[in-house]
Amino acid sequence: MVDLRPRGIQSIPLVIKNLIIINVLVWVAELTFGGNFIGLLKLHYHKSPNFRIWQLMTHMFLHDPSSIGHLLWNMFALWMFGSALEENWGAKRFLLFYLISGVGAALIQLGVLAVEMNYLDYKFGLADAATQQGLILRAGGIYYFGAYGASGAITGVMAAFAYLFPNYPVQMFMIPVPIKVKYLVIAYFLIDLFAGINPQEGDDVAHFAHVGGAIVGLILVTTMNKNNRRTFY
């Protein structure tokens, strides 16, 4: 029987512990070295002059330097949902799963941006001068867009956890009763999908990276475990 109870700090699984340490150290480096350091590692649109291939992976170790909340929430979610996976899969398999989910999330985010850029290019040819100016601004925002955060990889972890342990109860802040994790993850996925399809002004969250991470994580856990989800590990 799988023990899913949260562990103490000293018993955090090895990979998760090291991922948390690395993310904290990188966040401190962001505060120390500033914008040039962040710009080199965050994920840029693939046709941007600022894009580098390593950003597909390095972006997932960056977090918002203006607020520690982004980092704390992601690391809490990594510990909460990832501990049972690492303890049952083993360190190497969990690390591989985590990194593939993060890179997959980045590729899906870039794919969505490419589709949006093509749509803007199509609209540009049909628009009047005033509308064209707005389209140029939107395209410029995409062209120089930079995404960062571990959320894509972590939504992959959440999706895998929900697939393997769908009825595990999760106690959420401000909600008096536990929620089955499958409902929590589905709700989180749908909210991100809606927010990505209907972006609001000022929303700089890479919602499709979150959506992509969940999709990649679910594909991985189901593909690697075609016959019996309980024997995946």
Q: Is 120 part of any domain?
A: yes
Query: What's the number of domains the chain is made of?
Result: 1
pLDDT value, residue 137: 66
24-36 pLDDT per residue, tens: 999 999 999 988 9
Q: Is 2 part of any domain?
A: no
Q: Is 200 part of any domain?
A: yes
Confidence of residue 130 (pLDDT cuts 50, 70, 90): low
Residue range of the domain that includes 132:
14-231
- The Cα 181–Cα 1 span in angstroms is 18
50-99 pLDDT per residue, tens: 999 999 999 999 999 999 999 999 999 999 999 999 999 999 999 999 99
Mean pLDDT of 128-145: 70
Q: Is 95 part of any domain?
A: yes
- The Cα 196–Cα 208 span in angstroms is 6
Q: Is the pTM of this model over 0.85?
A: yes
Q: Is 97 part of any domain?
A: yes
Burial bucket for residue 142 (CB in 10 Å: 0-12, 13-18, 19+): middle
Residue 168 has pLDDT above 80, yes or no: yes
* CATH number of the domain bearing residue 19: 1.20.1540.10
Q: Is 119 part of any domain?
A: yes
Q: Is 9 part of any domain?
A: no
DSSP conformation letters of 186-204: HHHHHHHHHHHHSPPTT--
* 3-state DSSP assignment of residue 29: helix
